[in-house]
Amino acid sequence: MRQRLLLACVTFLAAAGVPLPGFAEFVPSQTIDLVAHGGPGSGNDVMARRLATIIEQEKLTPVRVQVSNRAGGGSTTASSHLVNKKGDTHTISVFTVVWVVDPLTQEAAHIRLNDLTPITRLVTEPALIVVRPDSPFKTLADFINAAKEKPGKLRQSGGSITSRDNVVRQLLMKISGADWVYISFPGGGERIAALLGGHVDMMMMDPSEAGDQVRAGKLRVLAQISEQRLEGFKDIPTVVEAGYKIPDVPQTRGIVGPPDMPADAVAYYEKLFERLRKTESWKKFLVENLLEEVNENSAATRAFLTTYEAQLREILKEGGVKVVR
């Protein structure tokens, strides 16, 4: 009788929305570790730090959000860190296309995004192909023709060899017959410094990395890696418009947690980023960096990643990249 009465009371209180002891929703009780797989200045780092700043300024959580850079092996150092945090409720990470490409192209990179806990997808973003303002290359064709005339002499700075910029390079070289060198740097700041210092000839950059330098006249944009021309770059052709019909290599960024993150923690972070999307600071960040907002919950993000992986596998094959999975 007592058990039936207790159950009836619990059911009534739950239906009324009254918090119950032992049934409370997850609320973070310590610093949230927001992992960035790139070094300082990389697009991934820029995104992570802006998210942390907005969350703090808008007081969206009761605890601090701390960005930790775990660069190395593309995404592998960061993804391994998350695997070691299995079930943890205070560790999340920003993911990008490289988290999908690495397991497809590296035998040792066996951790797929859906082996972790997808939480939300935030944005898709284009990229810009840039050179120094004093570069002899005025168009993408100028650069590619020079790379055909002098194979292996021109150089491109970039992130890991599995990043979007190298995938696009492989596609462009295959379709044009050109050949140029790819030099990998761990951080966006180092990649930009190599270009500005004249150590490399070209770079493919996320708008979040390139924006300030382009606006200040320190870089010249040759082409856009995008399906259509972007606001602010209406006079710059896309790669396809420039005469190189390659597949669009979509870049997307979102949030992922460790494997087996409890459902109430996933729900908390879904709601956290829902609140973040409504802030003026986030809306301003999207405009400034030419980002297209995506609003997907955990289940939708997991479904997207399954399709995304299949899409990227075919793009890699088309670019002549060896696929191991």
Assess whether pLDDT exceeds 90 at residue 7.
no
User: What would the pLDDT profile of 192-247 be if each residue is shown by its tens digit?
Assistant: 899 999 999 999 987 766 667 887 889 999 999 988 888 778 899 999 999 999 98
Residue written as token pair 């979040």: 208
Overall number of domains in the chain: 2
Instruction: Classify residue 257: in a domain, yes or no.
Output: yes
Note whether 285 and 265 are same-domain residues: yes
Tokens describing residue 255? 């949030």
Note whether 69 and 218 are same-domain residues: no
Instruction: Classify residue 152: in a domain, yes or no.
Output: yes
Report pLDDT for 24: 62
From CA 80, how far away is CA 272, in angstroms rounded?
25
Instruction: Classify residue 10: in a domain, yes or no.
Output: no
Note whether 192 and 121 are same-domain residues: no
Tell me which of 210, 225, 240 is where a domain ends: 225
From CA 269, how far away is CA 3, in angstroms rounded?
35
Note whether 210 and 264 are same-domain residues: no
Instruction: Classify residue 313: in a domain, yes or no.
Output: yes
Range with the lowest mean pLDDT among 21-35, 244-258, 265-279?
Answer: 21-35
Note whether 308 and 266 are same-domain residues: yes
Assess whether pLDDT exceeds 80 at residue 6.
no
User: What would the pLDDT profile of 137-174 be if each residue is shown by its tens digit?
Assistant: 999 999 999 999 999 999 999 988 878 889 899 999 99
Q: Residue 202 is part of a domain; what is its CATH number?
A: 3.40.190.10
Instruction: Show Cβ contacts of residue 241 under 8 Å, excluding neighbours closer than 6 positions.
Output: 223, 229
Note whether 84 and 132 are same-domain residues: no
From CA 219, how far away is CA 132, in angstroms rounded?
5
Q: Residue 300 is part of a domain; what is its CATH number?
A: 3.40.190.150
Is 108 exposed, middle or buried (CB count within 10 Å of its CB: 0-12, 13-18, 19+)?
A: exposed
**Average pLDDT score over residue span 283-300:** 92
